[in-house]
Amino acid sequence: MTAKVRQFFTRQSSAYPTAANSVQRMAQGDLNADMIDLVDRQKERLLRSDARFIFTSNSTVNGAVMQKAGKVYGGSWRFQSHSLDPEFVKAVEEDMQKIDSLLDIRGPQYSWRRNVKLESKSLDVDGDFFVLLTETGEGFPQLQYLEAHRIGQTLYDNDGTLKDGKYKGLRIQGGVIYNKFSRAVAYRVLTEDGEGFFDVSARDIIHVTDPDWFSQGRGIPAIASGMLDWYDMAEVRDFEKISQKVNSALTLKEKNATGNADVARGIAQGQRRSPGAFQSQILAGGTIRYLKHSDDLEAHESNRPSDGFLKFSDKIEAGAFYGMKWRREMLDSSAVGGAGVRAFQRDINDCINDRFELLERYKKRVAVWIIAKRAQQGAYSLPEDWYKCSFTKPREFTVDDGNARKADREDLRAGVASECDILSRRGEDPTAFLEKRAEFLVKRNEIAAKHNLNPIELGTLAQPGDNPQLMEDENTTT
């Protein structure tokens, strides 16, 4: 090697010192490859197993994941048709509401609308889930939800290329069959015992995941990046709880000249003491510890867990929460104040909206498929724009609901927001809301006329500065 070559390599290696071995740390392994190759089948299974264990054993993680799922659901997700045919809109929306609990193949305990909570949880814990589109013998649409472990390869199938069958010669990784462009064309569905399988075309099964990489194959659990933190916190808290138990067992400390309990008093009262160097005595569920010193009796006190430990654990938890795209302040929002409230609220709503957009894409595809199947059954006829649809968004998260509603009223009165915007943020269907409001106004006027009253006497929304004519029209128009 010439001097110029040696000089070149020496100069380059000092540009980014973090990419080299040092006394403090070793450089990481080579990760310059497609993510689909870096996360092999074994790594995927281990990630999923760890994520499920943490979710089921850690109450903080479990609560955060389900809290996030509840916010994403938000009591909303009502199907909306945007066809210009009013008769079709009415028929399809009523039908979708009627068959909601009949679509899941496992039975009415699973509602397609409320399944949003399980779908969100699966993305955080498993990384992905699958929906198989099927139907009954009579042609009624059915959905079979498949959790992440049901798409894969048997334990004895280690080939990365299919040797026979319809998809012979194509690559298979993690139960997903890819063409030469790395596009999924089929999925290998494992039987419940994991020994058998059957391949399903991508036209009949939907893979729902939120990829972190362009070269990714299967989904990665959202809690994966914080797994080591959650394991460490679990171990530290276990040790801290042991310390708490030990300290809780100590009630009094008696200092005397001998460092031992009074033997005569112990015999007379039948009290037990330990035989070791440090003498202790059971007293009503607690313990008296005897120490050799001048006579003194004091209560045992402990400052554990210390403030430093609590602050440190909060920091670790906050980082782990960020990894799963959530905020630790959701455990106790009282710590957030001032301008931080608005930033915190915006972060949570951004997270909810991001998950909503992800799930809505798949929900729309399923909804269009269901509508087509129901039309084949004669439930309704399809207009040209039958496929246009959406779902009501989950209600917006607010730290102070009272202030948020006050701000909504001010924006509405100032003309910078519409009723439709405000109702949508609250998870309501604006059209359905107006229908209910119109029915209420009609009923109120009927009751007022029945009792010879002015409708305003039954309540009014008028405020100082309102247009009297507009308010009169609102209270009298039927």
CA distances from 267 to 255, 270, 271 (A): 20, 5, 7
Q: What is the pLDDT of residues 348-367, one digit of tens each?
A: 999 999 999 999 999 999 99
Q: What is the pLDDT of residues 385-404, one digit of tens each?
A: 999 999 999 988 888 777 77
Q: Directed axis angle between helix 41-57 and helix 116-125, to 10°?
A: 120
* Of 30, 25, 116, residue with least CA distance to 366: 116
Rounded mean pLDDT, 217-222: 94
**More confident: 432 or 327:** 327
What confidence category does residue 282 fall into, taking pLDDT thresholds of 50, 70 and 90?
very low
The number of angstroms, rounded, from the C-alpha of 465 to the middle of its chain's C-alpha atoms is: 45
What confidence category does residue 100 fall into, taking pLDDT thresholds of 50, 70 and 90?
very high
Give the contacts of 471 (CB within 8 A, at least 6 positions apart): 460, 461, 462
pTM of the model: 0.78
Flag the least confident range among 77-91, 139-153, 293-307, 442-456: 293-307
**More confident: 75 or 131:** 131
Give the contacts of 227 (CB within 8 A, at least 6 positions apart): 47, 50, 51, 54
Give the contacts of 226 (CB within 8 A, at least 6 positions apart): 319, 320, 321, 323, 324
